[in-house]
Amino acid sequence: MLVVHEFSIAEALATQVLRHAPPGRRVREVEIRVGAMRGLEPDAMQMCWDAVTHETALAGSVLVMDMRPWSLACPACGRVWESPVLFAECSCGEVSPRPTAGDELDLVSMTVDEDDDEAAATATGGEAGAS
Amino acid sequence: MSEPVKTTRIPIVERVLEANDQLAEAVRADLERRGIFAIDLIGAPGSGKTALLEATLRALKGRRRPAVLVGDLATRRDGDRLARWCDRVVQISTGEGCHLEAGQVRDALTQLDLEGVDVLFIENVGNLICPVGFDLGQTVKVGLFSLTEGDDKAAKHPYLVTAADLILLNKIDLAPHLSFDRGGFEADVRLLNANVPILAVSATSGQGLDEWLAWIDGRSKMANSGATP
């Protein structure tokens, strides 16, 4: 198997999600935000997530990745824009815009099943989540 | 037909590598307390990480008290090479792991007598991508590139170049035999990290080693006085 850092990250993420997940509630979706600086490959990350969560409580959960782009700043005309690639020419012709990007790698949210009591309360017109 | 399952979205916002980062902070605090300047050396396989450390350890004999942690996928060869020049070397076998993590550094440090040690070299697993995002508790990160890898490698590894406190360009003695565009390489580095020093070195001929050692001395003094560059 090809060893990639996405695998370690997927393992760390799975541990983290299980720590935060309310007991007994199935996790349907996990959302992360990834700065372009991280160089994370979405396909590799998805594959690693599926492998890491296989036959665990997180099996079948969907990994949603918010891939943040590069920000390029043109030293000639001052234009700042978002770009999926690191090196790009500015519309003014300048060939060396300065790239910056975040290196964030954050768990943003998880979506879990409502528990049975809440679901029942909702179905009968009660207030979901009311204590 | 069954009712669709009702779901709740729970916002969290927490760093995915939080656990590693916390371990790294503990390692950093321990090293700082002991006055140890720690270098995380990151470079591709074959870029000359071990050769550079051999030359560095040889040159530091009698000047500094170094210790070395060396990460390797499967063999003990790097550790054995370095043990000829330094009596405090711990090999970390990562198995399939493509990078070192803070927990491995913490565990390896317990195997070393750190009394009197003033500089710690951590040779990361040969890889320009995976190690960068994993904080080890180091004082500085050094990115090692070499002429034989080609002049486009800085541009292709922006995270390392951006995160590095120093860029070393190894195998400079081979320059006459290769068509390495040094100006282009340095321009790519500058675009990503405007002020990072770039030193050309040769682990085999010794070229540039004095500058590299002077950088280590200067930055360790700065770290011990609590100053930032």
Q: Does residue B35 register a pLDDT over 60?
A: yes
Inter-chain contacts counted by CB atoms under 8 A, chains A and B = 111
Q: What is the pLDDT of residue A129?
A: 41
Superfamily of chain region B18-224: P-loop containing nucleotide triphosphate hydrolases (3.40.50.300)
Which residues from chain B sit within 8 angstroms of residue A71, using beta carbons? none
- The percent of residues in chain A predicted with pLDDT above 90, rounded, is 71
Amino acid at position B69, single letter: L
Q: What is the pLDDT of residue B2?
A: 65
Tell whether ipTM is more than 0.90: no
Q: What is the pLDDT of residue B229?
A: 66
Q: Does residue A121 register a pLDDT over 70?
A: no
Tally Cβ neighbours within 10 Å of residue A96.
16
- Kindly report the nearest CA distance between residue B199 and chain A, in angstroms: 22
Q: What is the pLDDT of residue B95?
A: 79
Q: Does residue B108 register a pLDDT over 50?
A: yes
What's the rounded mean pLDDT across residues B188-203? 96
pTM, full prediction:
0.90
Q: Which two tokens stand for residue B220?
A: 């360790």
The answer for B 59-118 residues in CB contact with A (under 8 A) is 96-99, 101
Which residues from chain B sit within 8 angstroms of residue A12, using beta carbons? 16-17, 19-20
- Cα separation values, B203 from B75, B93, B110, B160, Å: 22, 24, 30, 21
- Kindly report the nearest CA distance between residue A54 and chain B, in angstroms: 19
What's the rounded mean pLDDT across residues B131-158? 96
Q: What is the pLDDT of residue A124?
A: 52
> For residue B73, what pLDDT band results from cuts at 50, 70 and 90?
confident
- The percent of residues in chain A predicted with pLDDT above 70, rounded, is 85
The mean pLDDT of chain B is 93
User: Minimum mean pLDDT among A21-25, B95-99, B102-106, B153-157: which range?
Assistant: B95-99
Which residues from chain A sit within 8 angstroms of residue B187, using beta carbons? 96
What's the rounded mean pLDDT across residues A94-103? 90
**What are the structural domain ranges in chain A?**
5-12+26-111
A64 vs B: CB within 8 A:
no
B15 vs A: CB within 8 A:
yes
Are A64 and A24 in contact by the 8 Å Cβ rule? The answer is no
Of B53, B5, B19, B32, whose CA–CA distance to B209 is shortest? B53
> For residue A117, what pLDDT band results from cuts at 50, 70 and 90?
low
Strand order across the A62-67 sheet: A62-67, A27-34, A105-113, B7-15
What's the rounded mean pLDDT across residues B31-55? 96
- Kindly report the nearest CA distance between residue A125 and chain B, in angstroms: 14
The answer for A 70-89 residues in CB contact with B (under 8 A) is 86-87
User: Minimum mean pLDDT among B7-21, B54-68, B169-183, B214-228: which range?
Assistant: B214-228
- State whether B14 and A107 contact (CB < 8 Å): yes
A45 vs B: CB within 8 A:
no
Instruction: Write down the residue that tokens 């904080």 correspond to.
Output: B135
CATH 3.30.2320.50 fits A5-12+26-111, yes or no: yes
> For residue A87, what pLDDT band results from cuts at 50, 70 and 90?
confident
d(CA A79, CA B156): 24
Q: Which of B129, B130, B191 is opposite residue A96, by nearest beta carbon?
A: B191
Q: Does residue A116 register a pLDDT over 70?
A: no
Q: What is the pLDDT of residues A25-68, one digit of tens each?
A: 999 999 999 999 998 999 999 999 999 999 999 999 999 999 99
What's the rounded mean pLDDT across residues B105-115? 96
